[in-house]
Chains A and B, each alone.
Chain A
Amino acid sequence: MNRKRLSLWAVFRVPILLFVLSLTGLIGALLQDGAWDGAYSALLASTVVVTVWALIRRRR
């Protein structure tokens, strides 16, 4: 392993972003109904989208 060490921020920035988006989606969908349910579900769906992206683009 000759890659350089990443900072904690570099390691956790995407996980923190996904954590915040997921929680906002989970709680937002509880507070709103109708079209908003779709919008908040989309925030939670960011986890699935990022996973699929990583499985395709970050395979080596």
Chain B
Amino acid sequence: MHARTIRAWSWTHKWSSLVSTLFLLMLCVTGLPLVFSHEIEDVLLEQAWTPADPDGPGLNLDQVLAAALARHPGEVPAFMSFDEDRPVVNVTSVDPNGPAGRYSFEPIDRTSGQVAPPVAGHPVLEFLLQLHTDMFLGLPGMLFLGAMGLMLVTAVVSGVVLYAPFMRRLPFGTVRARQSARTRWLDYHNLLGIVTAAWVLVVGLTGVVNTLATPILAYWKSTALKELTAAYEAPVPMGQRASLDAAVARARQALPGMKLQFVAFPGTDYSTDHHYAVFFHGDTPLTTHLTTPALIDARTGELAAVAPTPWYVKALSLSQPLHFGDYGGLGLKILWALLDLATIVILGSGLYLWLGKGRRKVG
């Protein structure tokens, strides 16, 4: 490689890293406990609980919804999801006149309409998740972190290119431990950087895709779902909505054999202003991450469409497990944690090498 080419790659590596290092360190530090959020919440939130009336007929979804909303007067429903191992329905609601993004979350015992203890959403983990997702800045924060993710990808690619001139005279994995601290840390930086490249690229790129969730869903709604909303002008008000329970039953008929995952209410990111979007997922390892919604007209309760998601929504769905590392058991999560720690060392050593270089020049 020509000296000038190396300098250009070097400049790219330096600036893409410098711009993003502090944010990437924050992402690595907050991401580490988030890898284990399921396990941590199991411990922190564990409470012995049995449904009030396990053998009873159970409430229908309209009754469950009413029970949840009665605890949050003035709020409108946003999402409804279903626990897998207990008869609990989780209702997320939002104050339409309140600040955007502030949701209430109410787990309801489906056998009684009483509140069930939460198994997710511990305040500390919620705080870390919010910091990790958008730094409490909403969409601009998310997109900013997405840009930092692109800087990370640039730094990895330029780092791999620069690996060649640095390693031309050293066998793979050499750590010159007896030489100066700077040389030693350069070797650690190069070794960890090159072995983690694939994982960092996958987690970085899927993280970038996740930061685009809002625009991706908005585009989906404004194109694929647009015809469905053409018939109506104003959003469907609360008082004019058809039965939710009947809507979900109708959706089940439309997608037999698939598993109910969640309902998005009219006006949320995952639905139009006029439909209940009832999301189902498949039951193979891959299709369990891919959802298909049946859209039910919220005024009439009729099936409006089964809307298989386009490729870019599928890409968003698959980016979530590949970013979180929650799809291959505890072993995979431990690897996620180890590689996250390695990334912290790479970022720290990179910063150290840059700082040392500046000081040496001054001296």
Query: A residues bordering B, Cβ < 8 Å?
Result: 1, 3-6, 8, 11-15, 18-19, 22-23, 26, 29-33, 37-38, 40-41, 44-45, 47-48, 50-51, 53-55, 57-60
Query: Is chain B's interface secondary structure helix, strand, loop, or mixed overall?
Result: helix
Instruction: Answer whether residue B328 sits at the interface, using C-beta atoms and an 8 A cutoff.
Output: yes
Q: Which residues of A contact B194 (CB under 8 A)?
A: 15, 18
Identify B173's interface contact among A5, A26, A48, A58, CB under 8 A: A58
- Show 17 residue pairs from A and B whose CB-CB distance is below 8 angstroms, ordered by the A residue: A13-B172, A14-B173, A22-B199, A23-B198, A31-B286, A33-B285, A38-B331, A40-B328, A41-B331, A44-B332, A44-B335, A45-B331, A47-B196, A47-B199, A48-B338, A48-B339, A55-B175
Q: State the Cβ distance, B337 to closest chain A Cβ, in Å.
A: 11
Docked CA distance A23–B199 (Å): 7
Docked CA distance A60–B195 (Å): 20
| Known A6-B170, A11-B164, A11-B167; further 14 A-B contacts with Cβ < 8 A | A11-B163, A12-B164, A14-B173, A15-B195, A19-B198, A30-B289, A30-B318, A41-B332, A44-B332, A47-B339, A54-B173, A57-B173, A58-B172, A60-B174
Identify B198's interface contact among A12, A18, A37, A40, CB under 8 A: A18
Give the B interface residue count (CB, 8 A). 39
Q: Which residues of A contact B327 (CB under 8 A)?
A: 29-30, 37
Query: Is chain A's interface secondary structure helix, strand, loop, or mixed overall?
Result: helix
Instruction: Answer whether residue B342 sits at the interface, using C-beta atoms and an 8 A cutoff.
Output: yes
Docked CA distance A5–B167 (Å): 9
